[in-house]
Amino acid sequence: MNNKKRILYAVLSVVVIIIIIIITNIVMNNSPINNLQISIHYPTTDTIIDSQDINSIVNKNYGNVTKKKRKEIDTKILRDELKKNMFIDKANVYLSLSGVLKIDITQRNAIARVFTKKGYQYYIDKDMYVIPSQQKKAANVPIVYGDINEVPKDKIDSNVNKESYIIFRIAKIIQDNPNTRYDIDEIYKDKDRYELYSKTGNIVINLGNKDNVDDGLKKLRYVYSNILVKYGWDKYSQIDLRFRNQIICTRK
């Protein structure tokens, strides 16, 4: 008899717990959203997207969320809508127990802004994603211009987008080195040849063509770590990195 009572009590306890969970979920789902909290992480000092941009996406899909109930907000759908903005790298959307809709955003890290010969503009980020340029704000990254025709779709494919992949590699090396990141603000493509422009000393750096650009990028590190640090930015007008085992510096 005692065993039967224990089993009965156990079953009743489980039923009660299930009922409590169901009631709690019903109450929670029908409770109002009290606030919207947006947090944006910027990998650099560039703020291409802001809280107003995120608010606009939320309002477009749900209106004023503080007038909504929890059950009316699908956080997965909202996250997917936010991810449609190509400047958003990561989006985390969730509802807190206190009724706050929290949105955590990470902005993509743009490393170059490309201008094609036909006037199309786009950014390239550190993961090779292609982001259409927007006029409202501009990232403080090197501009790339000249004989550029290619416009990759969504993301650069190194096997298909040969021209864009070279531009990405150049921009990535510039971005990764603090010295070049704050000094080189232009990348110019003349046919297959690439030139870099230093804003500190108005120096033109001839990097080389598509066949020897890797060698030129290795020398670029040496130029900034050794030559310019030692002799200064005002001594040379041009630095040529095209030739094997040579760095040719032309005095002003």
pLDDT-derived band at 16 (thresholds 50, 70, 90) equals low
Domains and CATH numbers, the chain: 30-107 (3.10.20.310), 110-251 (3.40.50)
Q: How confident is the model at residue 20 (pLDDT cuts 50, 70, 90)?
A: low
pLDDT given at position 96: 85
pLDDT value at position 58?
92
Task: Output the pLDDT for position 1.
Answer: 53
Q: Looking at this protein, which amino acid is placed at residue 189?
A: K
Backbone φ and ψ for 69, nearest 5 degrees, come out as -95, 160
- Could you identify the residue written with the tokens 């909290």? 37
State mean pLDDT over 143-171.
93
* pLDDT of res. 10: 67
Question: Tokens at residue 65, please?
Answer: 């969320």
User: CA–CA separation, 20 vs 14, rounded Å?
Assistant: 10
Contact 227, 248 (CB under 8 A): no
Tens digits of residue pLDDT in 183-197: 999 999 998 899 999
- Residue 243 carries which DSSP code? S
Range 126-136 average pLDDT: 85
User: H or E segment at 110?
Assistant: strand 110-115
Whether 122 shows a pLDDT value over 90: the answer reads yes
pTM: 0.80
Q: What does residue 100 show for φ and ψ, rounded to 5 degrees?
A: -100, 130
Q: Beta strand pairing status for 130-132 and 121-125?
A: antiparallel
User: What pLDDT is attached to residue 34?
Assistant: 86
pLDDT of res. 57: 93
pLDDT digits (tens, 9 = 90+) for 28-56: 555 788 889 999 999 877 888 899 999 99
If DSSP codes are grouped into helix, strand and coil, which group holds residue 241?
A: coil
Q: Alpha-carbon distance 239 to 216, whole Å?
A: 11
Compute CA distances 216 → 83, 119, 138, 189, whole Å.
Answer: 37, 28, 28, 14
Q: How confident is the model at residue 22 (pLDDT cuts 50, 70, 90)?
A: low
